[in-house]
Structure 1
Amino acid sequence: MREGELTYDDFLRRLNIQDVLIDAGYHLNRRDGLRYPSYVRLDSEGRRIRNDKFIVTQQGKCCFKPQQQKSYNIISFIKEHPHFFAEYHAGVSPDRLVNLVCNRLLNHPVADRDTRIIQPKRDVKPFDMADYDIHQFNPQDRATQKKFYPFFKHRGIDLYTQYAFHRNFCLATKHREDGMKYTNLAFPLTVPKDTGQVVGLEERGRPRMDGSGSYKGKAEGSNSSQGLWIASPAKTTLTEAKHIYWFESAYDAMAYYQLHQANDKDLRKAVFISTGGNPTVEQMRGVLTLSLPAKQHICFDTDLAGIEFAKNLQQEMYRAVRSTIEETPERKPYLDSVADGKNLDEGDIDLLPDALRSSYGKYESAWEEAMSMRSSGLCHPDDIREQTDIMNGNYKEFREGLREFLGLDKANDASFVREQPTYPNKDWNEQLLAGQKQEETVDETQAREQSPEEEQQTHFRR
């Protein structure tokens, strides 16, 4: 960071969400009558735009939109609604946009950045599995397993987890023209519609001697735009799967399995997916086309990139659901009001039939009450839970009515859950290693406590 630059902590401390809402074009709604300030957008005639309101909570630090069960601070609001701000242009980094907007609101100058243009590699040879010497893991032959030890040991992946995924990894050795050769742990990449053809490798190297990490990347020529690591201990296919788990790396997928399989015996029937880094649109669409009825478990990292990946995957799910709906004259006005990549409940409610509008009104009122109770700090947890149950029941009723109106099969109404490792772990492999380290510390402590007792018994022995 350059000297004098402001950080996210500075922005959060010196700005409040109302500054950002006003800059985004929202106006204080003085007639709302809620316990917390609300901000609305107005049309060209000065009338409030329905279904476009944010309620301010937490002493002006956050806000939420009634129809979305999500709270924003100034950082996440700007990233989620970039088009509201003058600094936005196609291709701008979300973090860069936050810096530009917040610095402007604080009247703090921002230095111009030089643009670097990196020339892409040309004439890259397409991936060919025949270019590699492959060593497979055989669960029945301990001799074949020993070579994998240095690749899994430092990641905390035990032998039973290796047994579960043994069909989906190998050691790949490539010989270079200068006579050198190198071997990496390889996770084969396939295209969802043709899992029999390997189109690349997600590669991981041995840990370096100085402990600084290890090589990670993809084999040269890999089809990174479409290929994914797709694995299931029970050999479940994408079309048969009831649960799909999404990760940024195969190591994280195996770590998640190791952490949870003891308490979830059906986990072996799930399908585990690694995007090998930044998920592409083609990767996501390829999987969702075959597995839309399955519950999608988004297990990406908890850093800013992982948050963005999760958001992108959710948007692709919404697009996939939208594509299954037959557009009729009755449905078209409402469907047109749903922005691209948004949930079906985010359209113009006024364009729905009267019964559905009434159903949504009940949900919206219950949601506002639940959020107000939660933010006030004055309500008993049991009362908050009761109001939350009422809110969820009202939403379920509205959603069922919306599906019926749109002719949407319940099986195709994408279901997903965001799963995250426990704080402060960034990813699932990190959580696995942290847990193992904690267990080792406990064992060492117990050993030290037992040692004086053993010495005392030895001293009094005749």
Structure 2
Amino acid sequence: MSVNDLSYQDYLDRINIQEVLLYAGYTLNRRDGMRYPSFVRIGSDGCRIHGDKFIVTQNGNTCFRPPEQKSYNVISLIKSFPGMFKEHVGSSNPDHLVNEVCRNILNIPSEERQGRIIEPRKEQKSFDLNNYTIHAFRKYDFEGIKKFYPFFITRGISLDTQKAFGAHFILTTKESLDGGKSHTNLSFPLYVPGNTNVVGLEERGYPRLDGSSGYKGKALGSNSSEGLWIAALGKQDLSDATDVYWFESGYDAMSYYQLHVKDNPSLEKAVFVSTGGNPTVGQMQHMLAVTPSARHHICFDNDLAGRQFTENLKGEIHRIALSSVVVTPERKPYLDSIPLSQDYAKGDIDTLPKPLQDKYAKYESAWEESMSMRQSHLCYEGDIREQEDLSRKLYKEYKDSVRDFLGIDSRKVIPFVREVPERGKDWNDQVLLEREDSLKATEEEETRSVASGIDLDADGEIEVNESEEKKRVHFIKR
């Protein structure tokens, strides 16, 4: 599906109600606590406008405006309150307004917005893999592997990487119902974590003749709100997974593996998942629930959207930790001070019991000392590292104390790390850039080899000193 064919369901899958409220100029009202986040509008005098307030419910999927109890989702909120959005000026078509607001939130460039607006599909049939002709990847079927070549060669993905993931992608062909031309796509099957039924496909079409990316989207009827592409390379049960790597596409997951497996052989038994775009609440909740022992590596793109997706996933991880907290009068002031979707240790220190405040003060003092030592340029590096280790140790002690104070079950605290490519927007960009560097180096090496065999003084003899001189000059130019 191209950006011109985004449907209402795509907007509901990719955007949460809080993003819409923030875009409309509302501000999170921290005084209302964390169970039901509220958003208010601030006037020109810096004060809250009374009566202009929305309460967010259903994990960020809907909201209501008290005292009304009517719930709004992303689409109905925009249509019901068009004046909240700057795109309303000059637009009388509510569908056009929804289209413009949602695409601005998704940061889709204006030159890509010329397509039609697609209404929500009515009576859409559920996805059925039996409607497709399937060609599987088999490691030792060379003729069969050739059919996958066009999809991977332009991406710089090696045959070894294809073989490592071969059980987790297929070619799918669906005959056109009107007798038109059928299309074959590279497809990454989608599963609801913990279930073995294929509920959709993340699809990639043949690259265009100019080498640019072709069609990308999801198969009609796919369960985009819960389905993920899941590649468990070690063939272990998800409940036993030790490392889960999150990406926006199957191509990026394979690229990451190719870039790192040599230095990190444990990837050969890791679990790779693709959300196929914006991670939905359903995708995150299901995957986190079935991988209780895993460390999660958040490898979304290094752009604005990828950073937002990262915050969404981190927010869900933090929500799970806080879900085990029993609210008591002693804990409530601190709980209410924790910013929305933030870690349990990010609340107001002054609302904690005195012993915990003292632990934080001890950590902060050690951290300030380590910063002062590093910035002075007068201290031995070993001493600086020792001080930094001390500050990290003290912070861990403080954070553990906060966890104990809140009564958080340690099994609910999910470890995670954010990883971004060193070059390019995403992991496949890095693969392509490194391939380009390798090709340039090969070409330069060939140039040096040819140059070393040139008869510089045209006497019919290739002399050693001529050869070495040419090599030296060429090296200096680099």
TM-score, normalised relative to structure 1: 0.71
Q: Which residue of the partner structure matches residue 168 of structure 2?
A: 168
Local SS of the residue matching 1:183: strand
TM-aligned CA deviation for residue 455 of structure 1 = 4.2
Q: 1:324 to 1:270 in 2, by over 3 A?
A: farther
Local SS of the residue matching 1:207: coil
Q: 1:112 to 1:373 in 2, by over 3 A?
A: farther
Q: Which residue of the partner structure matches residue 186 of structure 2?
A: 185
TM-aligned CA deviation for residue 124 of structure 1 = 1.9
Local SS of the residue matching 1:344: coil
Q: 1:325 to 1:110 in 2, by over 3 A?
A: closer
Q: 1:253 to 1:85 in 2, by over 3 A?
A: farther
Local SS of the residue matching 1:262: coil
Local SS of the residue matching 1:342: coil
**In the alignment, is the contact (CA less than 8 A) between 1:200 and 1:222 conserved in 2?**
yes
Are 1:438 and 2:400 an aligned pair? no
Alignment of 1:359-378 (within 5 A): 359-368=359-368, 378=376
The root-mean-square deviation of aligned C-alpha atoms, in Å, is 3.5
> Matches of 2:90 and 2:427 in 1, distance apart?
35
**In the alignment, is the contact (CA less than 8 A) between 1:319 and 1:340 conserved in 2?**
no
What is the CA deviation profile of residues 100-142 of structure 1, one whole-angstrom value per residue up to 9, with x for unaligned ones?
A: xxxxxxxxx9995746244323232211101100000011211
Q: Which residue of the partner structure matches residue 228 of structure 1?
A: 228
TM-aligned CA deviation for residue 358 of structure 1 = 1.0
Unaligned runs of 5+ in 2: 1-25, 32-37, 45-51, 55-72, 75-85, 99-116, 464-478
- Tell me the amino acid that sits aligned with residue 190 of structure 2: L
**In the alignment, is the contact (CA less than 8 A) between 1:232 and 1:268 conserved in 2?**
no
Q: 1:86 to 1:209 in 2, by over 3 A?
A: farther
Alignment of 1:142-221 (within 5 A): 142-179=142-179, 180-194=181-195, 196-221=196-221
- Tell me the amino acid that sits aligned with residue 323 of structure 1: S
Q: Which residue of the partner structure matches residue 421 of structure 2?
A: 421
Q: 1:304 to 1:207 in 2, by over 3 A?
A: same
Percent identity between matched residues is: 47
Q: Which residue of the partner structure matches residue 450 of structure 2?
A: 451
TM-aligned CA deviation for residue 273 of structure 1 = 0.7
> Matches of 2:353 and 2:265 in 1, distance apart?
45
**In the alignment, is the contact (CA less than 8 A) between 2:344 and 2:403 conserved in 1?**
no
**In the alignment, is the contact (CA less than 8 A) between 2:454 and 2:462 conserved in 1?**
no
TM-aligned CA deviation for residue 353 of structure 1 = 3.5
What is the CA deviation profile of residues 195-250 of structure 1, one whole-angstrom value per residue up to 9, with x for unaligned ones?
A: x1000000001111133421100001100000000102211332111111110000
Q: 1:395 to 1:187 in 2, by over 3 A?
A: same
- Tell me the amino acid that sits aligned with residue 186 of structure 2: L
Local SS of the residue matching 1:317: helix
> Matches of 1:205 and 1:145 in 2, distance apart?
17
> Matches of 1:128 and 1:238 in 2, distance apart?
24
Q: 1:191 to 1:444 in 2, by over 3 A?
A: same
TM-aligned CA deviation for residue 326 of structure 1 = 5.1
What is the CA deviation profile of residues 290-310 of structure 1, one whole-angstrom value per residue up to 9, with x for unaligned ones?
A: 224311111000111011000
**In the alignment, is the contact (CA less than 8 A) between 2:321 and 2:409 conserved in 1?**
no
- Tell me the amino acid that sits aligned with residue 182 of structure 1: H
Local SS of the residue matching 1:188: strand
**In the alignment, is the contact (CA less than 8 A) between 1:359 and 1:398 conserved in 2?**
yes
Q: Which residue of the partner structure matches residue 318 of structure 1?
A: 318
**In the alignment, is the contact (CA less than 8 A) between 2:190 and 2:228 conserved in 1?**
yes
Q: 1:418 to 1:89 in 2, by over 3 A?
A: farther
> Matches of 2:308 and 2:53 in 1, distance apart?
18
**In the alignment, is the contact (CA less than 8 A) between 1:295 and 1:414 conserved in 2?**
yes
TM-aligned CA deviation for residue 385 of structure 1 = 4.5
TM-aligned CA deviation for residue 86 of structure 1 = 5.3
Unaligned runs of 5+ in 1: 1-23, 26-42, 44-80, 93-108
Local SS of the residue matching 2:278: coil
Q: Which residue of the partner structure matches residue 257 of structure 1?
A: 257
Q: Which residue of the partner structure matches residue 246 of structure 1?
A: 246
Alignment of 1:101-120 (within 5 A): 112=89, 114=91, 116=96, 117=98, 118=117, 119-120=119-120
**In the alignment, is the contact (CA less than 8 A) between 2:240 and 2:293 conserved in 1?**
no
Q: 1:461 to 1:390 in 2, by over 3 A?
A: closer
Local SS of the residue matching 2:156: coil
> Matches of 2:446 and 2:155 in 1, distance apart?
25
TM-aligned CA deviation for residue 335 of structure 1 = 3.7
Q: 1:254 to 1:380 in 2, by over 3 A?
A: farther
TM-aligned CA deviation for residue 325 of structure 1 = 4.1
Q: 1:230 to 1:438 in 2, by over 3 A?
A: same
**In the alignment, is the contact (CA less than 8 A) between 2:453 and 2:462 conserved in 1?**
no
Are 1:278 and 2:278 an aligned pair? yes
> Matches of 1:373 and 1:124 in 2, distance apart?
64
